[in-house]
Structure 1
């Protein structure tokens, strides 16, 4: 039995190690490519050991230098646009979803469940489905090439509203009665009781929505034509202009490496809260 356990542990660890290597190898290639010159990368075979130009390529991409075709928007600006977009989408989605779920659960008004199901049905209408009318509205309101145009059409979330509603339904009625006896109004009960109880769910949703906002590509592709409003994901695509000889792959890979860092930092920094928000049943 002990030997069988040892064999099972060895196999499981071997499978995990192989999985890690498969996932990590593209990241390793990105780091390697970001440390060489453009001429070194297009050679066959491509170098698999680090070069000596890593920080030069990072600095060149950060400042937007480059001599070939393609976008030369500074990565610093693109990272700023992506960061603002991701933060606004994540925070606004959570705030709107909290308030809408609070209203649906704790207020009695006509057609309450109708409005809830109307919100829920929008799960079948993502931005990709309603992209043409949404673009027309944004264009008519003059919000092209702006942070408002990048974020406002994406800040409503039926999923988050549904999750918060389900959580609010598990809050004991005794808490509501105790808050009412203490003289707490609806918004004070919301601020002092419901929001603290929802902290782990908020953290988990923040991680998910931040990554969702950071990785947006299709919508920014439509509403931005000015390089100063490119998010970093769109900027990477714009840097790829044609054949291998025309692309500065060292700068592209340096940009891709920098684009990986903020989502990774958010996941690592909020990992404890993220996992707790997904699996904790005693919130």
Structure 2
């Protein structure tokens, strides 16, 4: 930075590097443990360098099945969790952006009352309404289905509020110009609002994907079969009170695989994510 002495810059870099080491070391240690045999992990100290069981451990976890979760492979759990996270993220964005579009650009009776009803649901998270929601899933036969995993978590008052606040910044002249050019509601939404909202959508997608990926309570209730579980639930089931009964090498593999997809989503969408959070002028 301009006006900063080399000593201050050096200290700042040292602090930054130390912070990265503190945050990254547990992840590295988990990766190292995932490449060793169970006997090596149970016989401390664990080496600080990767072992020779990388391919064997990861192949066993991904395709061979894990005993403590009914012989289901981690690959199946990753698929279930990915479908759930994508379904929640995409569903929340679609429902919220359409709701905000209707509230801002259409005039109909009780419009603001509906908005405040949506806003009030912020005080009713899934944990509060979990019993009636579960009863609805049972009545519709959605237990152990992807629909049961995703549908109850799709509605989002927060995303609706964020899209509404952004749509309120759209100049009225732009709406009038689109109307003069003969653009109907659908064309205005598709050709104008969606391109303007892409950074907001990207930022929300990252947040909502991680929200769906880390869900624990709802998947625990709505799934009974091991092959419909998510990777977060599987991690809990794989750990026993007795170290000897826990396949720690597979637990470490599952832990690494559980954090890879969210990291990839953040890395691939980092530019759009940051832009969507800090951009104020459209």
The TM tier, using the shorter chain, reads over 0.9
What is the CA–CA distance in structure 2 between the aligned matches of 1:38 and 1:70, rounded to whole Å? 18
Pick closer, same or farther for the CA change 1:69–1:203 going to 2, 3 Å: closer
Partner of 2:233: 234
Superposition map of 1:104-123 within 5 A: 104-123=103-122
- Is 1:161 equivalent to 2:146 in the alignment? no
TM-score normalised by the chain length of structure 1? 0.95
What is the CA–CA distance in structure 2 between the aligned matches of 1:249 and 1:47, rounded to whole Å? 15
- Is 1:203 equivalent to 2:198 in the alignment? no
- Is 1:29 equivalent to 2:32 in the alignment? no
What is the CA–CA distance in structure 2 between the aligned matches of 1:11 and 1:116, rounded to whole Å? 50
Structure 2 unaligned runs (5+)? Answer: none
SS, match of residue 127 in structure 1: coil
For this pair of structures, how many residues does the alignment match? 281
Report the more deviating stretch, 194-203 or 3-12. 3-12
- Is 1:91 equivalent to 2:87 in the alignment? no
What is the CA–CA distance in structure 2 between the aligned matches of 1:3 and 1:134, rounded to whole Å? 59
- Is 1:252 equivalent to 2:219 in the alignment? no
Q: Assess if the C-alpha contact under 8 Å between 2:69 and 2:226 holds in 1.
A: no
After TM superposition, give the deviation of residue 47 of structure 1 in Å. 2.3
* 1:72-96 CA distance string (max 9 Å, x none): 3111111111111111111111000
RMSD, aligned CA:
1.5
- Is 1:191 equivalent to 2:190 in the alignment? yes
Q: Assess if the C-alpha contact under 8 Å between 2:65 and 2:73 holds in 1.
A: yes
SS, match of residue 100 in structure 1: helix
Pick closer, same or farther for the CA change 1:267–1:3 going to 2, 3 Å: closer
* 1:112-156 CA distance string (max 9 Å, x none): 111111111111111112112211111121111000110000000
After TM superposition, give the deviation of residue 33 of structure 1 in Å. 0.7
SS, match of residue 199 in structure 2: helix
TM-score normalised by the chain length of structure 2? 0.96
